[in-house]
Amino acid sequence: MNVVITGASQGIGYAVAELFAKEGYTLLLCSKTPENIQKASASLQAKYPQARIHFMPANLSNKEGCVDFANWCLGLGTPSILINNAGHFSPGNIADEEEGNLEAQLATNLFSAYHTTRALLPKMLLAKTGHIFNICSIASLQAYAQGGAYSISKFALLGFSKNLRLELQNKGIKVTAVCPGATYTNSWAGSGIEESRIMESADIAKMIFAAAHLSSQAVVEDIVMRPQLGDV
């Protein structure tokens, strides 16, 4: 069973990859930085020799990168699970954020999932089975200060997820939107926020793994997770 994970070199993407690798799945991983995805893949393979780890550096902020990665994945077989995790956070307010921030956030947080999914879907539709997870955010559900273009892009990703679910619900393919709140990744390093205050990447991974292993007649449509003490 092939599991495709984008943005898999760190954070939530790596945590999800680690959980599936532990269970012996075949993983098809990508990240923008070649040395990061190579290092992450080597680490996973060393820890979980029962898994088959394949990786490809890919910049999914442009359509060509998405299509190239998807075609590489299809060369290794039809995916059973696709986890669209590639994304980027850049804070700012709509009125004064850096010019081009919206375009950049949409490219990485929305279009990467859109184009990668579209390139993989024909083979998944032929298989009449599969599960697509889109890593959205609490920022997909509510506005917040300094959210700006990031929140707009994540609202759009949730909308994409809902439309995709409707289109695929009678075709054997499940779609789950994952909306985590503050989760400790490298982006929180140096923030002054204690790791114990926010969620672990492994928490998100466990929920995704559980949702991926339900009966064929059940789907978790949305996963919403927040720190126990509330949003930061």
150 is catalytic: yes
Alpha helices, H only, 33-111:
34-47, 63-74, 101-106
Name the catalytic one among 14, 48, 114, 150. Answer: 150
Measured CA to CA in angstroms, residue 147 lies from 105, 112, 153, 157, 178 at distances of 11, 20, 10, 15, 18
Alpha-carbon gap, residue 182 to 221, rounded angstroms: 20
| Structure tokens given for 70 | 């998807």
Residue 90's Cβ-count burial label (10 Å; 0-12, 13-18, 19+) is: middle
Alpha-carbon gap, residue 55 to 86, rounded angstroms: 14
**Could you tell me if 207 and 178 are in contact, meaning their C-beta atoms sit under 8 angstroms apart?**
yes
Residue 100's Cβ-count burial label (10 Å; 0-12, 13-18, 19+) is: exposed
Active site residues: 150
